[in-house]
Amino acid sequence: MKSSNRQLAIAFGAGLLFAFGLALSGMTKPAKVIGFFSFHNGLESWDPSLALVMGGGMLVAFPAFRYAQNRKTALFGSVFRMPTRKDIDLRLVLGAALFGIGWGIAGYCPGPAITSISSGSSNALIVVASMIVGMKAYQLFERREPSAAE
């Protein structure tokens, strides 16, 4: 199997595993996510399952990131790039706020939204279409904006 095909197969398998985990944990159901962000009825109606899923993800990701920091290449051969920026700027804060607001309103973040399309959810399709429009708008904005280095 060619290297690029092998990498594509590994990426597909990882995505499939992630989608299965999202579905198994119930995170493809917007009510679960909204239940986590819902405090208006007190703690008796609060659903902590999202925190447990995120905590489980961090338990898996933390040692993997620590291991990856000492590598020059990915496990399957390609160059491995870790983020280098550490500053927090207005664009980062506004982007995170916009992401959180959208997540809280729709009950979907990108992974569960894409996973939920396979169930025929029209709401998930609207969310994914909106994400695509937002990504394209960002790309257009980035092309028009002069870079910080200029």
What angle separates helix 122-144 from helix 110-117, to the nearest 10 degrees?
130
Section 90-98 average pLDDT: 90
Predicted confidence (pLDDT) at residue 91 exceeds the cutoff of 60 = yes
Distance from C-alpha of 59 to C-alpha of 12, rounded to nearest angstrom: 22
Task: For the full predicted model, state whether its pTM sits above 0.75.
Answer: no
pLDDT tens, residue by residue, 10-65: 889 988 998 888 888 888 888 887 888 777 766 777 888 888 988 998 999 999 88
Residue 150 has pLDDT above 60, yes or no: no
Instruction: Give percent helix, percent strand, percent coil of the chain, each to the nearest 5.
Output: 70, 0, 30
* Domain boundaries of the chain, sorted by first residue: 3-144
pLDDT at 133 over 90: yes
Is residue 107 pLDDT above 60, yes or no? yes
Cβ atoms within 10 Å, residue 73: 9
In this predicted structure, the answer to whether residue 147 has a pLDDT above a threshold of 60 is no
Cα separation, 48 vs 77, in Å, equals 39
Nearest to 128 by CA among 65, 2, 18, 136: 136
| pLDDT: which is higher, 23 or 74 | 23
